[in-house]
């Protein structure tokens, strides 16, 4: 039995090591490319003459509008995160705690909507934005990201709220607390790990999306990082891939910082102390 456990442990470490290499190697390669002198892609993870010049060139207004793209993306990401968390937590709480006509059908509709690929709705999105005169606006992207996050994340929020004892709601209601106060002061603090996950996912959306951003945004001064970096490389005859790699590395910084800020909530207890007298 002990020998079998050692074999299983060794296999587990082997699989984890292989998975780590597959994940980490491309990241190191991008970082190495961003530090490589010149404009060509390097095959070495660690360049022989590393330089930070490409990171400084990104914020040179005569070469790129990277700073403007960065601020645009941060603005869209923060607003999307706040709006999405508010909508999703309220929607998940309603589906978890209340029984109303059409509840089951609405959940089924959410399940179907989250199975539809994004590109399938491109024509419908184009027509809708044209009707509302929202093309080339950040508001359009915020609405699309926030609305698109509701179906899948509502299931996540509902499942989390279902595990919080309803006795807490009943006790608060007996003390005279209203629905909104119960949600805000009792249920939501117990759901911090779920809120942190939803916030992180929706903050990442504007950084990772290219399809919707390229469809909606037309003006160079309104572009996000994904669209701006793509246009920067595709429009240059010399294909400055090292500058592109530096931009890609810096675009991950806000996501990493937010992850570490929320990390303690990811592993915290669900209702620690919530039912203790």
Q: Given this model, what pLDDT does residue 274 score?
A: 39
* Distance of alpha carbon 166 from alpha carbon 179, whole angstroms: 13
- Is 218 in a helix, a strand, or coil? coil
Q: What is the arithmetic mean of pLDDT over 187-193?
A: 90
* Distance of alpha carbon 168 from alpha carbon 175, whole angstroms: 11
Same domain, 98 and 18: no
- Can you give the CATH number for the domain in which 108 is found? 1.10.3720.10
Q: State yes or no: pLDDT of 201 exceeds 70.
A: yes
Same domain, 134 and 44: no
Same domain, 10 and 142: no
Same domain, 105 and 194: yes
Distances, alpha carbon 151 to alpha carbons 108, 111, 140, in Å: 10, 7, 18
Provide the whole-model pTM.
0.87
129 within domain boundaries: yes
Q: Given this model, what pLDDT does residue 270 score?
A: 38
User: Cβ-count burial of 237 within 10 angstroms (0-12 exposed, 13-18 middle, 19+ buried)?
Assistant: exposed
Same domain, 130 and 229: yes
249 within domain boundaries: yes
Same domain, 22 and 156: no
Q: Given this model, what pLDDT does residue 236 score?
A: 59
Same domain, 137 and 259: yes
Same domain, 174 and 211: yes
Length of the chain counted residue by residue:
277
Same domain, 127 and 199: yes
Q: What is the arithmetic mean of pLDDT over 223-234?
A: 90
* Distance of alpha carbon 6 from alpha carbon 171, whole angstroms: 50
* Distance of alpha carbon 274 from alpha carbon 169, whole angstroms: 11
Residue 32 belongs to domain spanning = 2-51
73 within domain boundaries: yes
239 within domain boundaries: yes
Same domain, 105 and 213: yes
Q: Given this model, what pLDDT does residue 272 score?
A: 38
Q: Given this model, what pLDDT does residue 275 score?
A: 40
Q: Could you give the residue ranges of the DSSP H alpha helices within the chain?
A: 2-34, 53-58, 66-97, 103-113, 122-132, 138-162, 166-174, 179-182, 188-190, 192-208, 211-216, 225-234, 241-251, 253-266
94 within domain boundaries: yes
Same domain, 104 and 44: no
Query: What tens digit of pLDDT does each residue of 84-114 get?
Result: 999 999 999 999 999 888 888 988 888 888 7
Same domain, 137 and 27: no
- Give the range among 27-31, 67-71, 138-142 with minimum mean pLDDT: 27-31
């Amino acid at each position: 039995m002990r020998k079998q456990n050692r074999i299983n442990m060794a296999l587990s470490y082997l699989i984890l090591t292989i998975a780590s290499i597959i994940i980490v190697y491309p990241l190191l390669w991008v970082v190495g490319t961003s530090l490589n002198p010149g404009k060509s892609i390097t095959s070495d993870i660690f360049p022989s003459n590393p330089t930070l010049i490409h990171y400084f060139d990104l914020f040179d207004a005569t070469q790129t509008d990277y700073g403007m793209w960065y601020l645009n993306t941060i603005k869209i990401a923060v607003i999307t995160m706040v709006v999405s968390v508010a909508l999703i937590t309220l929607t998940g709480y309603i589906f978890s705690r209340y029984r109303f006509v059409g509840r089951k059908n609405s959940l089924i509709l959410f399940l179907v909507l989250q199975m539809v690929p994004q590109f399938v709705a491109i024509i419908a999105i184009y027509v809708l934005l044209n009707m509302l005169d929202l093309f080339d606006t950040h508001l359009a992207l915020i609405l699309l990201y926030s609305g698109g996050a509701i179906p899948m994340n509502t299931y996540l929020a509902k499942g989390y709220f279902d595990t919080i004892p309803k006795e807490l709601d009943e006790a608060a209601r007996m003390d005279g607390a209203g629905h909104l106060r119960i949600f805000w002061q009792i249920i939501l603090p117990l759901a911090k790990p779920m809120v942190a996950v939803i916030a992180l996912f929706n903050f990442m959306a504007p950084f990772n999306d290219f399809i919707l951003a390229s469809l909606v945004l037309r003006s160079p001064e309104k572009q996000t990082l994904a669209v701006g970096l793509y246009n920067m490389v595709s429009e240059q005859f010399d294909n400055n891939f090292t500058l592109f790699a530096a931009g890609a590395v810096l675009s991950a910084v806000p996501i990493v910082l937010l992850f570490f800020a929320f990390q303690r909530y990811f592993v915290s207890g669900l209702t620690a102390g919530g039912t203790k007298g």
